[in-house]
Amino acid sequence: LEFMQESESLSLLEQLPQELAWKIMENVPDAVFELRLTSKVLKSRVDEYALQRATFPLVETLEFSKINLDGDFEIILKIPKHNADLFELRLKLRRSGPFSNTHMKRSRRVKRPNEYSFLYDDQLMNFVNEYTGTQLETVMLTYSYGQTEYSIISEILSRFGFRNLNVKFEAITDDLTDLFFQTIETCKVESCTVQTDNNTASNPVEFLLGLSSLVRSIFIVQPEHFLDRQSRILFGIRDIHWAPVIFDMFSRKLDKLEIENQYCQEYLSDNDILILKERLPFLNKKIWFEATCNVNPQDRLIRNDHSITIKQNYGLTIPSSTLVIKHLSREHEQFEDH
């Protein structure tokens, strides 16, 4: 009788099996603090849930930011607004061990993810890995890294799985290429943004071809170069015909490619553009392709279910156009990293 009375006094949520209650909490992570105030039973349930390893991407972005010439770097965790309370609760409940005297800083943004930052420490990183889970959305390497530094970062990243990788290389080398590709395979990366102005690999084009065999989408960003803007340079590679390279990239796993090169628009010749317009739509694949170019705008045409156009870019400091070749089913699709 006493058991029945006690059960009747519990809410429906309190009476649910643990697994089902946790599933509900997973869908409303922004309500964990309110739920804890409801009753002692729910407080206990919520705290038990918060101490479990995350079963969904709790951290949106893991960013490595180099802060000095000695190779020290800061790690920044970007937490989506709807996950911020759950992250805070996990941090509060685990305020022990490496976190008892942590120097983690929190930055709240009105319309952007909350940020937590700390100087890299292996013990602290292990603890972060434990309570954030193994799944991320995006990893960003926002400053240039040499091989030694990237070796450390590569080992850290091997603990996670993530879809998007955004990197800026000081230089592309053969050794760095091997580590980079290993990270992509280990972490099951699907989309990659890459930027470099110095490519010293023995076969620089092979880097792009190898990357195209590993991921479905690539965004190449050409930084401003010291040479004049008539230089034919992209990704640290000078004076080559890009049409065969791009076609070969799309012949692999890759089906989505964007090239942003406002500063050296001559990298893509008129003949390159003509070849791409004629051949890409017939690759037996639903292509998504955009590339900065220095050609006058052209009207849209349809070729083998692909829309082809050259559009004027507005609102930019440097006038430019963009070659667009997209399967009709993907015309309104955006690039994940924008």
Cα pseudo-dihedral 38, 44, 50, 54, rounded to 10: -110
Secondary structure (3-state) at 267 = helix
Q: Domain tally for the chain?
A: 2
What confidence tier does 7 reach under pLDDT thresholds 50, 70, 90? very low
CB-based contact 307:324 (threshold 8 Å) = yes
**33, 151: one domain:** no
Distance of CA 219 to the CA centre of its chain: 11
Residues of the domain holding 231: 60-330
pTM of the prediction? 0.83
Are 243 and 103 within one domain?
Answer: yes
- Provide the residue count of the chain: 338
Flag whether 335 is in a domain.
no
Q: Is the pLDDT of residue 3 over 50?
A: no
Any domain includes 120: yes
Tell me the C-alpha distance between 174 and 171, whole Å.
10
Residue 254, in any domain of the structure = yes
The answer as to whether 77 is a domain residue is: yes
Instruction: Please name the amino acid found at residue 257.
Output: L
Q: Which residue has the higher pLDDT, 93 or 286?
A: 286
- Let me know whether 31 and 91 are in one domain: no
Average per-residue pLDDT for the chain:
82
CA dihedral 259, 261, 265, 269 (to 10 degrees): -20
Residue 11 shares a structural domain with residue 137: no
For 4-69, the DSSP string reads HHHHHHS-HHHHS-HHHHHHHHHH-GGGHHHHHHH-HHHHHHHHHHHTSPPSS--EEEEEEEE-ST
In this prediction, residue 148 has a pLDDT band, given cuts at 50, 70 and 90, of confident
Strand 73-79 and strand 59-66: pairing? antiparallel
The answer to whether residue 102 scores a pLDDT higher than 60 is no
Q: Which residue has the tokens 């490619």?
A: 257
**Is a pLDDT exceeding 90 seen at residue 146?**
no
Q: What is the DSSP letter of 172?
A: B
pLDDT at 4: 40
Give the range with max mean pLDDT: 50-59, 66-75, 110-119, 329-338.
Answer: 329-338
Residue 106 has what pLDDT?
Answer: 67
Same domain? 173 vs 140: yes
pLDDT at 101 over 70: no
Identity of the residue numbered 176: L
Check pLDDT > 50 for residue 133. Answer: yes
Other CB atoms within a 10 A radius of the CB of residue 127 amount to 17
Half-sphere exposure of residue 211, counting CA atoms within 13 Å on the CB side?
23
- In this structure, the answer to whether residues 232 and 150 fall within a common structural domain is yes
With beta carbons less than 8 A apart as the criterion, state whether 306 and 326 touch.
yes
Closest CA to 51 of 60, 59, 43: 43
Residue 60 pLDDT class (50, 70, 90 cuts): confident
Structure tokens that stand for 246 in this block: 């791009």
229-282 pLDDT, tens digit each: 556 888 878 888 999 999 999 999 999 999 998 888 888 999 999 999 999 999
Query: Mean pLDDT highest for which of 32-41, 67-76, 315-324?
Result: 315-324
Residues 144 and 191 in one domain: yes
3-state SS, residue 266: helix
Same domain, 203 and 295: yes
Residues 303 and 236 in one domain: yes
Same domain, 15 and 134: no
Burial profile 307-328: b = 16 or more Cβ within 10 angstroms, e = fewer: bbbbeeeeeeeeebbbbbbbbe
